[in-house]
Amino acid sequence: MFDLTPQDDFHHAVGSEESWRESHSFDFYDPSTRLSGFGLMGVSPNQRAGECVFALWRDDVLLVKSSKWDYHIPREIGEERQHFGPLAIRVLAPFKTLEISYDDGYCRLELGYDSIQPPYSWLQSYRGATQPGSHHYQQQGRFRGVARVGKESFPVQGRGARDHGWGPDARANVLRWISATAQFSENLAFQTLHVTLLDGKDLLFGYVFRGAQNDVVQRSRLSASYSLRHGAPSGCNLDFTTKGGERLTAAARVLNAFNFSFQQRSLPGFVFSCAAEFQMDGQTGFGRVNAFWRGTKERPEEWLIEPPSVLPGKLAKLREDFDDTVF
């Protein structure tokens, strides 16, 4: 059984697979300044390739956008895979505190991140994987710092999440996904992530955090709406249940959207990362709705995933499919 260790918050030894990839991402929203930001950096050392993406909004106005998908990196790149190009992510205390910076000459961002929960690993949803081919975890927290755009300066006191994944990149085997991540307070946060593979199999990931441990999502239904035929999500309604028996319903309203469709070879389709406001039980939270679909007919609209009721052999095959998937 694989368990996260503090060393997993740093870079990893490169696997032998040509598609082996390590990635980091983060997002935040500040209700006071209405600033939201999204950053992604990934490296594929065996292909000597890397990408770095960043966007900053105020409300739905895009202040800064930077995306480069064809960095040429050395095969032996080490800890530099967490700080190349204009973006840098530094671990100060594993799974607790990070420093994040971005500087392109026009925009300069300096952030501190403090986690509010233990990291949620996808393997918590599929415990049968004894030798996983890839790993991925998410963790929510608080962001603090300052963003300077041109001659303007904005303080940041926001909430959001960070992700870290490594292993063989099998995104080319994915048909679609939609993820909703929200934080309401330091004692309430959640994620639900629906995935469909090219062979039609559905996978469900996610958790509810209520100030102690991550309670894994085992059933989830969503209905999503979209701004245009090929446009970004405009909102979604969620109804999901955890293994601990808790049932939650929430509604998300998209605040802005970063469209990077058809820009990555391993993601041949429509890709959106959207800041969102969430309502649940009279509470307001903020987070993100992310979506991918290959073509219009695969776009997620009504989608229910329930616990698999399958024979052990079929469940083992489902776990094998999971082992080969990393985002």
- Map out the domains of the chain as residue ranges: 6-323
Distances (CA, A) of 81 to 17, 171, 182, 210: 17, 20, 28, 33
Place of tokens 């469940």: 315
| Confidence check: pLDDT of 195 > 70 | yes
Of the pLDDT bands very low, low, confident and very high (cuts 50, 70, 90), residue 75 is confident
Distances (CA, A) of 302 to 157, 239, 270: 35, 12, 18
Range scoring the smallest mean pLDDT among 60-69, 172-181, 284-293, 307-316: 307-316
Burial of 238 (0-12, 13-18, 19+ CB in 10 A): buried
275: left (phi over 0), alpha (psi -120 to 50) or beta: beta
Residue 318 phi, psi (nearest 5) = -60, -40
- CATH domain 6-323 topology: AttH-like fold (2.40.370)
| Confidence check: pLDDT of 323 > 70 | no
* CA-closest candidate to residue 240, choices 192, 169, 195: 192
| Confidence check: pLDDT of 219 > 80 | yes
Total-model pTM: 0.90
pLDDT of residue 126: 77
The mean per-residue pLDDT over the stretch 255-261 comes to 94
Of the pLDDT bands very low, low, confident and very high (cuts 50, 70, 90), residue 258 is very high
